[in-house]
Structure 1
C-alpha cells in the first residue's frame, strides 16, 4: 500500500467536551466542507461507482422488527461467503501480527479513501493532496469495507504501516473518538471487535457506518454504578445496561475526550490481557461508549449453542450486539422476531455472576469508585 499520495483530513486535536458541527477549512478552495457527508460518503460512493465492493449493500432489504426494542433486521444473503475468512485461532484475544496472512497493507490503493491525522493547529483541514512527511509516524487511514453492512461502511486503520495487531491501546482508541467527534453526526457510529469476538482480521482497525435510526442499545435504560476518582461531576461515569440481552457497561462524561478515552481503553486493555473477548460501540459523537464482554465463540467451541442458532450462521459482533441484526437467510429475515433477537444475543452475554466478577475486576484495577446507585 502506498500512502504518499493520499488526501489528508487533518482533525482538530481539541480534547475538550464540545462537539463541532463537522465543518472544516479547505486549503484548496477555502470553503467549508462537511467531513461525513461530503468527504467520507463522497469518496465511498466514488468507490461504489468503480465497482470495488463485493456486492451492492444499498439493495439489501432492511426492516425494523416489531417489538419493544426495535431491533433492525437486514437481509444480506451470501455476505459470509464473500467476506474474507478468519485466519487465526478464536480462543486467544491477543495474538501476534502475521505478515503472511491478510492485512491492510495488502489492500489496493483504490480502497483507501484518505489519511486521518491531527492538525498542527486548532482547526480541521482537508488537503486533496499532501505528501507524507518522511519523519512522520506511520499514517492512519480510512478505507472502504469491501463487504459492507451499511451505506458508508468504512475502516479506520491506525498507523497502518506499523502492522499493529488487533488490540486496543490508548492512542488508537483516542483516534477513534476523534473521528466520532469530527463526524459530529449522531447517526455515525464506530465499532470494534476483539479477536475471539468476531474480528476477522488481526490488524488493528475500527469499523464505522451511518445508520439513520437509533441502535436499540442506545435506547436502553442504564444504572450508574461507578465514577472515576476526582472532583464531583467532573470524572467519567460508568453505568450498566438494564433490561438488555447482553450485559454491558456504558462510559460517559469526563472533563476531556482523553479522560473518557483513557477510562475505556484501560478497561479494554485489562480485558484483552485476561483473554476476555469484547466488543465496543462508540456513539453520540464520541461522548458515549458501550463495552460488551462476550462469550459466544467460547460457547460455540464447547458445543453449548443450539443447532437452530448455529444454522443461522450469524456471528454476533458489535453491530448485532447493538441491535442491527445482519441475517444471511431469507427464512430468518422473513421470520425475524424480537424473541429470536433476544435469544441469540442472550447467548452472547456473560452470565450475571461472571459479569459481576469482570465488573469488580475492572472497578478495582481502573481506580474507579462506587457511587450511589441510581437509575438513569
Structure 2
C-alpha cells in the first residue's frame, strides 16, 4: 500500500523550491552545479581521526563554525533571527524544552511525500544540495587518514567536484544558534541513507567540536527528512536534552566494547550506544544497526551526543500513523513534525498558542504517537541484533527491567543532571 503525507517542507536553503529545479544553462546564482563551480574556493578543515578533545577548551572547529555562521548572519542570509525566538523549559518530570519559532511556518501549498519507503533513489530533478548558493557554505570538512593529533586548515581551497568534499552549510531556517548542515561527499549526490563512512564523519565532527552542547542529528526518509540528499543537522543548545538524562538498561556489550542499552521511562523507545575500543568501533556498530533498519524499511532518527561518545537510535512510526489517518486532528493542527530534535525533547513550535499552552501532557501525547509499541520495539531489537551478530535473552531482559534502580544506568554528560536523575 502506497503511503503519503502532505506537509510544507522546511526551507534549508534560500534557493530551495517545492517542485523541480530548472534544467540546463547557467542559473546565475553561484551554486554548486557545473554551471557555477569553475574556480569556486572554500576553507578546508582537516581533523585528526582518533584523538578525543578536552572539553574545557574552545576548539578551533567551534571557532571556525561559529565565526562563519555569524558572518552569514550579518550578511542577512537567514530567513529570520533565531536568537529572538522565545524558549522555555516545560514544568514536569521530563523537563521538555519548548521553542516558539514562527519563522519556520510557511503559508505555502503542502507537498506530498512518500513515507512508506526509507530508501528511495536520488532524484536530480528535485531540490538537492548542489543547488545551494556558494555563499551558504561555511567550509569543507574531512578527517585525516593519518594517526595524528594535528589539525590542518587551509583558508582558500578549491571546491573539487572530482574529489567530492564533504561540506558544512548554514540552515537558513535555524532552530538554534549555530544550526548547520553536514553534507557528506556532496557531489556524489548520495540519497538520504546511512553508510559507515558518512556516520563516522558525523561522529568525528562531534568529537572535534568538543562541546557537549553541540549535537548532530539525522532523520531518515519516513522520519521527517524531506530532502533526499544525504545530510546531518547540528546546532548548539546550552542545556541538556531530556533524552540525555533518561535512564537506560544495558542489554549487551559487543566484542569491540560498544555498550548497547535501551531507554527506560522515556516516552520514545530507543537504543543507546556508547563506548567501544575506538570511535570507529562505536560508529560501525551504530551504522550496522542503522543499515539494518533501512533494509527493513523502518524509519528512524539518530542523535549524536556527548561530543560523539553517546548515540541514540530511535525508530519511529508517526508519519505512517499520519498517512493512515491514525493521528488526532489536534496534533496535526500544531504542524509539529516530530523528528530527531522533538524526539530528544526539544519541541519546536510554530504557533504562539501552542507555545503559550505547552505542557508536559501535550508533549507526551505527541511522543506517544511517535514511539513504537513495546512489542514492536522488541521485534526491532531482535532484528537489529540478528543483523549485527548479537543475541539477547528476552526473559533476562524482562527480569532486569522489573528490578530496582541499581540496575539502571543514567547516560548523561552533565554531572549535576546525572546526580539529579539518579536521586529521582
Q: TM-score, normalised by structure 1?
A: 0.91
What are the equivalent positions in structure 2 for 1:60-209 lying under 5 Å apart? 60-81=85-106, 88-119=113-144, 121=146, 122=148, 123-131=150-158, 137-209=163-235
Distance 1:182 1:176, change over 3 A: same
Conservation of the 8 A alpha-carbon contact between 1:321 and 1:345: yes
The 1-side partners of 2:53 and 2:110 are apart by: 38
Query: What is the RMSD computed on CA atoms of the aligned residues?
Result: 2.1
The unaligned stretches of length 5 or more in structure 2 are: 1-31, 401-406, 410-424
Distance 1:207 1:84, change over 3 A: farther
The 2-side partners of 1:246 and 1:120 are apart by: 37
Q: Offset of 1:119 from its aligned partner?
A: 2.9
Q: Which secondary structure state, in structure 2, belongs to the residue aligned with residue 63 of structure 1?
A: strand
The 2-side partners of 1:147 and 1:282 are apart by: 21
Aligned to 1:298: 320
What are the equivalent positions in structure 2 for 1:1-376 lying under 5 Å apart? 1=32, 2=37, 4-14=40-50, 18-21=51-54, 34-81=59-106, 88-119=113-144, 121=146, 122=148, 123-131=150-158, 137-228=163-254, 230=255, 235-370=257-392, 373=400, 374-376=407-409
Conservation of the 8 A alpha-carbon contact between 2:382 and 2:392: no
The 2-side partners of 1:186 and 1:83 are apart by: 36
Q: Which secondary structure state, in structure 1, belongs to the residue aligned with residue 181 of structure 2?
A: strand
Q: TM-score, normalised by structure 2?
A: 0.81
Aligned to 2:25: none
CA distances 1:177-233 after superposition (whole Å, capped 9, x unpaired): 0000000000000000000000010000000000000000001000001221x2xxx
Q: Offset of 1:81 from its aligned partner?
A: 0.8
The 1-side partners of 2:271 and 2:211 are apart by: 22
Distance 1:33 1:320, change over 3 A: closer
The 2-side partners of 1:345 and 1:191 are apart by: 17
The 1-side partners of 2:283 and 2:192 are apart by: 17
Distance 1:353 1:344, change over 3 A: same
The 2-side partners of 1:107 and 1:286 are apart by: 28
CA distances 1:105-127 after superposition (whole Å, capped 9, x unpaired): 00000000000012354111221
Q: Offset of 1:325 from its aligned partner?
A: 0.1
Distance 1:85 1:4, change over 3 A: farther
The 1-side partners of 2:96 and 2:111 are apart by: 27
Aligned to 2:419: none
Q: Offset of 1:308 from its aligned partner?
A: 0.8
Q: Offset of 1:13 from its aligned partner?
A: 1.7
The 1-side partners of 2:328 and 2:238 are apart by: 33
Q: Which secondary structure state, in structure 2, belongs to the residue aligned with residue 368 of structure 1?
A: coil
Conservation of the 8 A alpha-carbon contact between 2:164 and 2:186: yes
Q: Which secondary structure state, in structure 2, belongs to the residue aligned with residue 174 of structure 1?
A: helix
Aligned to 1:29: none
The 1-side partners of 2:108 and 2:268 are apart by: 26
The runs of at least 4 consecutive aligned structure 1 residues that moved more than 6 Å come to 82-85
The 2-side partners of 1:133 and 1:152 are apart by: 26
Q: Which secondary structure state, in structure 2, belongs to the residue aligned with residue 203 of structure 1?
A: coil
Distance 1:284 1:85, change over 3 A: farther
Q: Offset of 1:137 from its aligned partner?
A: 2.8
Q: Which secondary structure state, in structure 2, belongs to the residue aligned with residue 356 of structure 1?
A: helix
